[in-house]
Structure 1
Amino acid sequence: MSIVSIEPATPDRWEDLARLFGPTGAYGHCWCVYYRRRAKEFTASVSCAQPERGNENRETLRRLTLDGKVPGLLAYEGDEPCGWVSVAPRKEFVRLARSRSLRPVEPSEPGIWSIVCFWLPPRRRRRGMGTRLLDGAIEYARINGGRVLEAYPVDTAGGRAPSAEIYPGTVRIYEKSGFTCTPHPTSGRPIARLDLKSE
């Protein structure tokens, strides 16, 4: 497999992003807005009681993309979208600020970007795509003024876990790319950080 490019999700690529996520919006109608919406709003949008599950999430991501906010990066093989990473300034992820386990230690710290999610279709997994997307996210954050790139990985202790559980990436993939992983001072959850200015 040869990935031709990793590109920002600009307005002209919205249809590619929607096609990649498919009718269920990647992870259970999420449409990669879990960290961009308040908990109550998100929970209501994916409730089994809602006939059109995930539509609000899809519309949130669509508006964001068409407004030119660039919610993340798409991997392409030829003209075919084949992977996704959500990377943006940390302040755009409202749920991080409210999270008990991931709340920023220094909320006003300037220049912090965050990676919150990867999405790969099943046939694209375990083929190095995640590393390529992570490399693209590092470079994108750096050239757009990021000072530090932060992520919230899952520690699988070197084993495997279902993809739905490791959507933020694993400790191993971040450490291999030069991130330092330390426990959150309150929750103990791993926080991965990379100083972009020293690269």
Structure 2
Amino acid sequence: MNKIASGLLILALSTTTLAGCSQSSKQSTNASHVSTTKKAASATSASHKATTKKASTPVTFASNTLTTKTGVIKITGQRQVASAFPNYQQLLITYTYSNKAKSDQVPSDLWSKYIRATQGGKSLVSGSLSLTGGNSDADNDDINNSVTPVSANKQVSVAAMYKVSPTGGPVTLTIRDGHHTVGSTTLNINANTAN
């Protein structure tokens, strides 16, 4: 009987030890698998981030020229135009737009996406505003071009208009890419002047 009890005791201890080793082995294997999976996910994430950064084209603004992946805006001039609004004038900003996209693009879409105009800290709204007849046919063409689709690889003369206060100080155009300021330019306003 002693031999049988002794054999059963050895068998029970062996089974417990093997079961413990088996659990330890499984935990070690699982920890190794989790670690390998995390490393692979981290490497994939880093690779994706690197690919994303390489794929995006930076937005730049230098020498009054905004350059993006889909188009280029070069500010070519400005002048004040009489307005039908009392105590206001209109600021006509002329620019060339070059479509770098593979499809038709509307110049004002690029302008409004990246360019914000302010005067005295207040936002200005771009648009074709009421004129008193002080604008030329070329001005009208440029204003109309701002909302007319431009074919791929074509360039047009365009204009943006803002209602401004002649005594409100300069207009600042701030170029932004999302929440990041890329650059800015200041346009002086002549008090009580309409060209």
Q: Using structure 1 for the length normalisation, give the TM-score.
A: 0.29
Please state which structure has a larger fraction of its residues in strand.
2
Could you say which structure has the larger radius of gyration? 2
Give the number of the structure with larger relative contact order, counting CA–CA contacts within 8 Å between residues 6 or more apart.
2
Q: Using structure 2 for the length normalisation, give the TM-score.
A: 0.29
